[in-house]
């Protein structure tokens, strides 16, 4: 030909050069690659004609025909797999194309449904475990408070009984008034000391009760959480 296009000239120069240069227009290479991967225009036209015939005959619906015309991904995949020619495109080829497209759509839908179900199941499982931990913590905290309250009542009652017995014994053993006054003062100071010991968290008894209560709370929490998790399973 006495005249060639700039694309042809560039291609010839590139092939003759024998090397790959970094300055080759990337967009042009992508365009050529994409075009080579697409069915030929006459093949697309033949498919459209047969689709129109099948639609007129009622063998496929209008929606199915539109979907087959518009699905470029399916067309490209089938073109790569079957490499049809214009002569080979007939009703059977269109039917094969339609079946392949249905399988693809069904497969994608099933995969998406399974993915959504798995995510939902994982979220539900995590939420149930979180709720179980919160319930177990609330239950254990209530039990801890009851333990502290009961233990303090028992300790106070024990001290009161001991103090009462001591007072009765001392009163019976003393007869003089000065000694009785001294005893009363001693008893008052002792009672105040007992009250201060029991009401102050910084004292030994208070720390001991809190320590035991924390151990009790942990034990109750672990046991209750295990029960809840067994129910969930």
Distance between CA atoms of 209 and 147, rounded to whole angstroms?
Answer: 9
**What integer pLDDT is reported at residue 202 of this predicted model?**
45
Distance between CA atoms of 124 and 232, rounded to whole angstroms?
Answer: 11
**What integer pLDDT is reported at residue 201 of this predicted model?**
45
User: pTM value?
Assistant: 0.42
**What integer pLDDT is reported at residue 27 of this predicted model?**
77
**What integer pLDDT is reported at residue 74 of this predicted model?**
59
Contacts of 129 (CB under 8 A, 6+ apart): 229, 232
Distance between CA atoms of 149 and 154, rounded to whole angstroms?
Answer: 9
Print pLDDT tens along the chain (233 aa): 788 888 888 888 877 776 666 666 777 778 877 777 767 777 778 777 888 888 888 887 888 777 777 766 656 655 655 556 667 777 777 777 777 777 777 776 777 778 888 888 888 888 888 888 898 899 889 988 888 888 888 877 877 777 777 667 666 665 555 556 666 666 676 666 666 655 654 466 777 778 888 888 888 888 888 888 888 77
**What integer pLDDT is reported at residue 64 of this predicted model?**
79
**What integer pLDDT is reported at residue 171 of this predicted model?**
64
- With residues binned 3-state (H G I as helix, E B as strand, rest as coil), the percentages for the chain, rounded to 5, are 85, 0, 15
Residue 60 DSSP code: S
Tokens of 61: 């619906």
**What integer pLDDT is reported at residue 180 of this predicted model?**
60
**What integer pLDDT is reported at residue 177 of this predicted model?**
56
The answer to whether 51 and 94 have CB atoms below 8 angstroms apart is: yes
Following DSSP, what letter does each residue of 92-146 receive, concatenated?
HHHHHHHHHHHHHHHHHHHHHHHHHHHHHHHHHHHHHHHHHHHHHHHHHHHHHHH
The answer to whether 54 and 91 have CB atoms below 8 angstroms apart is: yes
Residue 19 DSSP code: S
Distance between CA atoms of 111 and 43, rounded to whole angstroms?
Answer: 32
Domain positions in the chain are 25-111, 127-232
Place of tokens 């007072």: 167
Q: How many CB atoms lie within 10 A of CB 28?
A: 12
Distance between CA atoms of 206 and 130, rounded to whole angstroms?
Answer: 33
């Amino acid at each position: 030909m006495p005249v060639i296009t700039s694309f042809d000239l560039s291609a010839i120069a590139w092939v003759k050069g024998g090397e790959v240069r970094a300055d080759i227009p990337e967009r042009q290479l992508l365009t050529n690659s994409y075009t080579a991967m697409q069915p030929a225009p006459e093949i697309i036209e033949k498919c459209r004609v047969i689709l129109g015939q099948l639609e007129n005959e009622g063998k496929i619906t209008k929606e199915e025909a539109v979907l087959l015309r518009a699905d470029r991904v399916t067309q490209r995949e089938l073109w790569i797999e079957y490499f049809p020619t214009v002569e080979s495109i007939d009703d059977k080829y269109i039917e094969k194309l339609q079946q392949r497209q249905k399988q693809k759509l069904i497969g994608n839908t099933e995969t998406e449904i399974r993915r959504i179900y798995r995510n939902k199941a994982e979220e539900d499982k995590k939420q149930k475990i979180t709720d179980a931990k919160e319930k177990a913590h609330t239950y254990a905290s209530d039990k801890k408070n009851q333990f502290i309250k009961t233990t303090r009542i028992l300790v106070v009652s024990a001290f009161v009984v001991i103090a009462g017995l001591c007072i009765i014994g001392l009163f019976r053993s003393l007869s003089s008034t000065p000694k009785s006054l001294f005893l009363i003062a001693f008893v008052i100071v002792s009672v105040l000391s007992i009250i201060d010991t029991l009401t102050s968290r910084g004292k030994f008894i208070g720390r001991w009760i809190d320590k035991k209560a924390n151990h009790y709370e942990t034990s109750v929490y672990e046991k209750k959480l295990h029960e809840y998790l067994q129910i969930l399973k």
